[in-house]
Amino acid sequence: MAGHSHSANIKYRKDRQDDARAKLFLKLRKKIENTLREEKEVNEKSLSIARENQFPKEKVYQIWEKLKENKDNFPSRVFYQGIFGVLIYMEGDTNISDDLEDKFKLKKLSLTLLPNYFQKFYSLKINLKDELNLEEFLLTSLPSEVWDELIYNEKEKALVSPSSEIIKRVKNIIISEVKNNLSVGEEKSFWKSLIPSQIVEKKEIEYYLALKETLSDKKYYTNIEE
């Protein structure tokens, strides 16, 4: 029993270490991806980030080739810091005049900082064909390693994960194995703040509401909890 316990403890520590390394690797990869998107090429900036973190040079080029395959990987993107700790990340139509930047005291931040404050999530909406407890059904239908990577949104009847590959696996399982009960609905991606903040003072709220109104026709994400 002592030997078994020792082996189990070693495995537990190794699993924890592997998990920590995987998360660090993913964060670094995102940073390099954002640099490549920002620079629109593999240059010294992205390669130096890789060298400093012992990230293989060839993988930087592999990431770049994959990004080039999908034109959607290069939308217009901008990351701002406002006053009162307000952060704004925008995609698509990011055209904000200098006057508005001055009015709201917006400071542009490098996209390489984005993974420190926001994480991208992927969502898959599930349509119910019959009356059933969706969460219970999915718990028994999905492999445990897949379920562990998912967040179930009861209100939206959707599954959310920071991994697009996990969402693809869920989609394939639903399509191939549970056709009679469920069907796949809307798929989307969004950014979620890693460090959500609250604003409580009147001047803070007024500032944020005015900024929000100004950005109402744009796709943006913020760190402010409402």
DSSP state for residue 188 in the 8-state scheme: E
Tokens 């993988």 identify what position?
A: 59
State the pLDDT at residue 17.
65
Over residues 35-82, the pLDDT tens digits come to 887 787 888 888 999 998 888 889 889 888 888 777 566 667 899 999
Burial (Cβ within 10 Å: 0-12, 13-18, ≥19) of residue 167 = buried
The letter for the amino acid at 114 is L
State the pLDDT at residue 65.
86
| Cα angle for residues 208, 209, 213 (degrees, 5° grid) | 115
State the pLDDT at residue 27.
83
Residue (of 78, 107, 108, 79) closest to 93 by Cα position: 78
State the pLDDT at residue 16.
67
In the chain, which stretches have pLDDT less than 50?
1
DSSP letters for 59-125:
HHHHHHHHHHH-GGGS--EEEEE-GGG-EEEEES-----HHHHHHTT-EEE-GGGHHHHEEEEEEEE
CB atoms within 10 A of CB 91: 14
DSSP state for residue 217 in the 8-state scheme: T
3-state secondary structure of 18: helix
| Extents of the domains making up the chain | 2-73, 76-226
